[in-house]
Chain A
């Protein structure tokens, strides 16, 4: 599959814990985006990386952080988890970073915090 991949598919954890979500962009894509999808908030932009550097931040909590590695894969770290963090987390990628770019989405990681 040459598309965006995300691991794990599902994650169940407890409040107060820390988890790491992983994303591999499409081959050749330099930009990675993270989104959170919840029932009450819908799809919300969290953060964007371009070629290893943070480019933009959205509604990302201080408990959350991300990074993009030299091989361009990205990880989203969620710490001190709360019940309200339960959501579907999507990663997307695009070739470059402008508004004309189409973002291609991964299958998502479903996080359940108990």
Chain B
């Protein structure tokens, strides 16, 4: 079954330090993966997706099929990065229908 695992519920780093939020998945095919972010009292918003290979707000994520991982990284954390981060895998239920399978989320806190 398709599954997304975020092993860290909480992650706390100091401002300016590197950040890595872990995401592992189980999927038999070639996955399309997303990172969503939820800032305090705001809606879930897309941070980045595997297929676009772009960097958003300094974050990048590389798909590692060998390790079945899609870790989110940023070299220098900023206080405004404090938020809840979700890794998600779209599951094609039937043709033309999909759902997002989410990890449990990691709450990132950036300390000044």
Question: Hey, which chain B residues are within 8 Å of A43, CB to CB?
Answer: 86, 100, 102, 105
Question: Hey, which chain A residues are within 8 Å of B105, CB to CB?
Answer: 42-43
Chain B interface size range: 20 to 34
CA distance A33 to B91 in the complex (A): 13
A101 touches B98 (CB 8 A): yes
For window 100-114 of A, CB contacts with B under 8 Å fall at: 100-108
CA distance A48 to B95 in the complex (A): 13
B97 touches A97 (CB 8 A): yes
B96 touches A42 (CB 8 A): no
Question: Hey, which chain B residues are within 8 Å of A56, CB to CB?
Answer: 93-94, 97-99
- Which of B51, B86, B98 has a CB less than 8 Å from the CB of A48? B98
Digit string of B2-21 for contact with A (CB within 8 Å is 1, else 0)? Answer: 00000000000000000000
For window 54-92 of A, CB contacts with B under 8 Å fall at: 55-56, 58, 90, 92
Q: How far is the CB of A91 from chain B (nearest CB, A)?
A: 10
CA distance A2 to B42 in the complex (A): 16
Question: Hey, which chain B residues are within 8 Å of A45, CB to CB?
Answer: 99-101
A residues whose Cβ falls under 8 Å from a Cβ of B? 3-4, 33, 35, 42-45, 48, 50, 55-56, 58, 90, 92, 97-108
Q: List 29 A-B contacts (CB under 8 A).
A: A35-B100, A42-B102, A42-B103, A42-B104, A43-B86, A45-B99, A45-B100, A45-B101, A48-B93, A48-B98, A50-B96, A55-B93, A55-B94, A55-B96, A56-B93, A56-B98, A92-B44, A92-B100, A98-B96, A99-B90, A99-B91, A99-B92, A100-B32, A101-B98, A102-B34, A102-B46, A103-B46, A104-B45, A104-B46
